[in-house]
Amino acid sequence: NAGVTQTPKFQVLKTGQSMTLQCAQDMNHNSMYWYRQDPGMGLRLIYYSASEGTTDKGEVPNGYNVSRLNKREFSLRLESAAPSQTSVYFCASSEGLERSTDTQYFGPGTRLTVL
Amino acid sequence: AQSVTQLGSHVSVSEGALVLLRCNYSSSVPPYLFWYVQYPNQGLQLLLKYTSAATLVKGINGFEAEFKKSETSFHLTKPSAHMSDAAEYFCAVRTGFQKLVFGTGTRLLVSP
C-alpha cells in the first residue's frame, strides 16, 4: 500500500517549457488535491478534484491545468513554465466525505526549479 | 474567511524540554483544526485533528493540542522533546467542503 505517489521527485525546466506532474493514490479515495509550498507561505491549494470527473480551482490556479484521469490519478500541467512557478508541489487525497473527519494524505512532493 | 496564524517561524528547544507551538484561528463558525508535521524532504503527515468531540486532542508521537475557544487557539504541545521531533509543523483549518487553509509553518529545532 504505497499511499500517494508522485513523479518526478525533482525537475529543472527552462522558462517557457511545459511539463506534467503525475500523482496516483491507491487508497480508493474520491478526492484529490494539488498544492504548492513556498518558503514562509505554507501550502496553497492550486486545484482540487472532489470526485472523478470534476475539477475546481483553488487559491492559486493561474498558469496550471489539471486532469483527473481516473479515480486513482490526478495530474498537474504547466503549459509554459515561469520562474515564479519554482516551488515544491504536493499531491494529496482524501475520502472526500462531508463530515469533519475527512483527512488529507500527502505524497512526498516534486521539487521544481524553473530557470 | 477562516484562517490560521502560527506565531514564530522557528522554535528552538533542548532535548527533554517542553515543546509549545502556537496556532490561533479566525473563524465565524466552529472550526475543524489540524496539525501536520513535515520531516525534511518528505510530505506532510497528520499529527492530530480537532473535530469538536473533545477539547484536548491526543495525536501521534506524544503530541497533543488543546482547543480553547475563548483564546481562539489550538496550540501544539509535547512534554519532552526528542531529537527526532525536529521538523516543520503546520496548523490548518478546514474552510469548506474538502478545503484546508494552512498556516505558514513553524520549524522546530531540537538541540542535544
d(CA B28, CA A52): 31
C-alpha cell belonging to residue B67 = 482547543
Cβ-proximal residues to A69 (8 Å cutoff; 6+ apart), any chain: A75
**Best to test chain B binding among A25, A106, A110 (most B CBs inside 10 Å):** A106
> How much of chain B, in percent, has pLDDT values that exceed 90?
71
A72-113 confidence digits (pLDDT tens): 999 999 999 999 999 999 999 998 877 667 889 999 999 999
Closest residue in chain A to residue B42, using alpha carbons only: A108
Q: In which band, very low, low, confident or very high, does the pLDDT at A1 lie, cut at 50, 70 and 90?
A: low
- B44 neighbourhood in chain A, CB within 8 Å: 43, 90, 92, 106
**Best to test chain A binding among B34, B38, B98, B104 (most A CBs inside 10 Å):** B98
d(CA A90, CA B65): 25
Q: In which band, very low, low, confident or very high, does the pLDDT at B42 lie, cut at 50, 70 and 90?
A: confident
- Nearest CA to CA, how far is B40 from chain A (Å)? 10
A33-85 confidence digits (pLDDT tens): 999 999 888 899 999 999 998 999 999 999 999 999 899 999 999 999 999 99
Q: Which of A115, A95, A105 is nearest to A23 (CA)?
A: A105
A50, B24, B66, A103: CA torsion to nearest 10: 10
